[in-house]
A = this chain, B = another copy of it.
Amino acid sequence: MANSISIFDTTLRDGTQGEGISLSADDKLKIALKLDALGVHYIEGGNPGSNSKDIEFFQRVKALNLKAKVTAFGSTRRKNSIADQDSSLIRIVESGVPAATLVGKSWDFHVRTALQTTLEENLAMIFDSFAYLKRNNVEAIFDAEHFFDGYKHNPEYALMALRKAQDAGADWVVLCDTNGGTLPSEIHEIVSRVRAELTAPLGIHTHNDCELAVANSLAAIQAGARQVQGTINGYGERCGNANLCSIIPNLQVKMDYRCISDEQLQSLTTTARYVSEIANANMPVGQPFVGNAAFAHKGGIHVSAIMKDSKTYEHISPELVGNKQRILVSELAGQSNIISKAQELGLDVTANNDKTKEIMERIKELEHQGYQFEGADASLELLLRDAFGEMTEIFKLESMKLIVEKSNGGMNAEAIVKVKVDGQTVYTAAEGNGPVNALDNALRKSLEQFYPSINNIHLVDYKVRVIDEKDATAAKVRVLMESTDFNNTWNTVGVSSNVIEASWEALVDSIRYALLNMAKIKKTQDEPREQLGLVNH
């Protein structure tokens, strides 16, 4: 179809070039699942020729049977060598991916300065590399690095580079604004000219150095490109890559192109937030379309107009992208999610009863304090069960003391806890490698005589995030913990201005959840992890 646009996601490759973005192989697999559910057509996973983390990703991703084409990234063959003997190209083919992107030079200045070879050799490198991929039945995408700068300096050579890839059978020719310095009017003009010169389908890859990456992507599509490369939340080197979370709704809602299904578009907001959680990167509150303030209304006049008709101050309906309108602070955050979660637990929750309103108020208050239940299902479940009086108190903390001492280079941490279990008071102390470990050890020690299975549980991830940055080291922090018992995984949350207290909250929730759900855990486990076979890792 003429108005179909192919979405190429490079969050897992170019996105990880962003400052502070670092993803493990597990993280990458979790994100790949979400991207596949969103409906992107290509998921670029990394460079199988470069590092062990990416090699692991390409091996394990096969078991997920994604609809999207998992794509490997590499460069055209080395100068003065043979493609069939290029170890990095060989590894791409051996990784078994259905598609691969090769980056190559199209700016004569770069060929001479960065690559330090002749213009002819660079053209041969492009031709040979694509011919090699096509001989091996890999869908082949040419990322023409610095294409726009190259075209502006030497249009003949830049076009020659594209034609070499096309002649060798490349399935896509993608024009890259690598330095992010090109303006939308230039993009439109240059893509139009390239469209007239080439037969291969064109793609666009932009960077946000001028705050124009989204506009540049749209301009290229309007000039005839049919693939757009970008990342979730615009992660990427320097100022980031083009942000798919803005490009997709612009194309689909405003410009009548088709990228993903309307249902998939409604998962855009949760996808953006999920990826930001995994990447441990704060999402700007005002991020277009998917940010928490994207449809928030503050001014009195605006709000009264909004109440008369929401299109007075809203450019689209927020539900189209799975976001929601917010007026003042009152957000019935994910009310339907919470209701369905409670119903799943067999609790009597419906939209209109008083109990539900009470719970909603409580959750709203906690979210206002900085709790976030999207990434902490187990804490949410405990909260709901508590509200329905379904919880018996398994243990009760009477007091806790933690001492951390450093002198002569050594550092010690010890925790003393006093808990009441089954009517008995247990008073224990334990050491640890750090304060949270000392607390964890002391708490387990006091419980293990009553619940021996507690020793099967352990923590697999621990994240701390400052919520309210203006108070410096006195700011509130949110701790997210992920725990596992070899078969299942669950997440808990704690919030406090004291990192120890927040950790303690999340730790206690984790253990309460484990003990209460010994029988139930199997049912509520995290599906993606099961699919991923992450259990024994």
Contacts and interface: CB of A to CB of B under 8 A. Distances in A.
Interface of A: 17-20, 22, 51, 109-110, 113-114, 178-181, 183-185, 208-212, 214-216, 218-219, 222, 236-240, 243, 246, 249-250, 254-255, 280, 282, 284-289, 291, 293-299, 301-302, 304-305, 308-309, 312-316, 328, 332, 372, 374-375, 397-408, 411, 413, 432-437, 439-441, 458-466, 469-475, 477, 480, 496-501, 504, 507
B459 A19 contact: no
Contacts of A210: 214, 246, 249-250, 254, 288-289, 315
Nearest to A375: B20
A399 B404 contact: no
Contacts of A413: 498, 500
A286 to B, nearest CB: 5
A229 to B, nearest CB: 16
A272 to B, nearest CB: 12
A459 B469 CA distance: 8
Given A209-B294, A462-B464, A497-B434, A179 B20 contact: no
22 contacts: A19-B374, A113-B312, A114-B304, A114-B305, A184-B184, A185-B222, A208-B288, A209-B288, A211-B243, A212-B218, A280-B465, A400-B405, A400-B406, A401-B406, A406-B501, A411-B500, A432-B474, A437-B474, A437-B497, A459-B472, A459-B475, A460-B469
A179 B313 contact: yes
A459 B499 CA distance: 15
Contacts of A475: 459, 462
Contacts of A218: 183-185, 212
A129 B185 CA distance: 38
A92 B338 CA distance: 30
Main secondary structure of the interface of A (DSSP, over half): mixed
A280 B469 CA distance: 9
A269 to B, nearest CB: 13
Contacts of A240: 286
A404 B498 contact: yes
Nearest to A468: B20
Contact of A183 (B255, B286, B498): B255
Contacts of A209: 288-289, 294, 315
Given A215-B215, A239-B294, A461-B469, 5 more contacts: A20-B463, A237-B298, A284-B284, A402-B403, A473-B507
A255 B397 CA distance: 62
A451 to B, nearest CB: 17
Nearest to A186: B254
B315 A474 contact: no
B113 A19 contact: no
Contacts of A305: 110, 113-114
Contacts of A284: 284
Contacts of A332: 17, 51
Name the residue among A287, A315, A437 with the largest chain B CB count within 10 angstroms. Answer: A315
A407 B403 contact: no
Contacts of A211: 214-215, 243, 246, 250, 288-289
A180 to B, nearest CB: 6
B20 A285 contact: yes
Contacts of A501: 404, 406, 411, 434
A408 B398 CA distance: 7
